[in-house]
């Protein structure tokens, strides 16, 4: 998507912090700072906060979008498909489409990072639906989990 005009336009989008939806979970909080709907699908940007020992997702990959991680605070264990790395504030990991990755907070301190998805899938729908499944107490069969993950372009390895 390119701008083809010659004079520019007033099209910037400002979102004050009090308007950012937050999915608050017992061990983490996902701040949906800039979901696909806000960025015309160009990218998604979430702030991910983790309590001490929060763990994280198992190794997985996505077929249609890249994912990047920028550590803000604490230590986040990042998996780059081959090695687990203890990443600290200022460290960055880029994972292209198809790249196996994972993250976790295994430390005794809280941690926070930015997660950037590009181009932007409606990734918040994955996290909201996952929270709904967990909160409902439903148990999914392996085939149902596979279908859920595939619906959201997440393939576990």
Beta strand residue intervals within 3-110, DSSP E:
22-24, 28-34, 44-50, 60-61, 66-73, 76-79, 84-87, 92-95, 102-104
The predicted structure's pLDDT at residue 76 = 98
- pTM higher than the cut 0.85: yes
CA neighbours closer than 13 Å in the CB half-sphere of residue 71: 20
CA 103, 61, 123 angle in degrees (round to 5)? Answer: 80
| C-alpha pair distances (Å), 58 with each of 101, 128, 156 | 8, 18, 7
Tens-of-pLDDT digits for all 157 residues of the chain?
689 999 999 999 999 999 999 999 999 999 999 999 999 999 999 999 999 999 999 999 999 999 999 999 999 999 999 999 999 999 999 999 999 999 999 999 999 999 999 999 999 999 999 999 999 999 999 999 999 999 999 999 9
The predicted structure's pLDDT at residue 135 = 96
Q: At the fourth CATH level, which superfamily is domain 21-156?
A: Jelly Rolls (2.60.120.10)
The predicted structure's pLDDT at residue 2 = 87
């Amino acid at each position: 998507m390119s701008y083809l005009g010659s004079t520019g336009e007033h099209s910037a989008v400002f979102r004050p912090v009090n308007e950012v939806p937050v999915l608050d979970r017992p061990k983490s909080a996902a701040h949906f700072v800039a979901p696909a709907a806000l960025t015309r699908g160009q990218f998604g940007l979430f702030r991910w906060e983790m309590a001490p020992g929060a763990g994280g997702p198992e190794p997985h990959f996505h077929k249609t979008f890249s994912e990047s991680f920028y550590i803000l605070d604490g230590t986040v264990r990042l998996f780059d498909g081959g090695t687990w790395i203890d990443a600290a504030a200022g460290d960055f990991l880029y994972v292209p489409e198809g790249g196996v990755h994972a993250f976790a907070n295994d430390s005794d301190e809280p941690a926070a990072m930015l997660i950037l998805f590009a181009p932007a899938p409606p990734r918040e729908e994955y996290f909201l639906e996952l929270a709904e499944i967990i909160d409902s107490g439903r148990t999914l069969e392996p085939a149902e989990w596979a279908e859920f993950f595939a619906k959201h372009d997440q393939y576990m390895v």
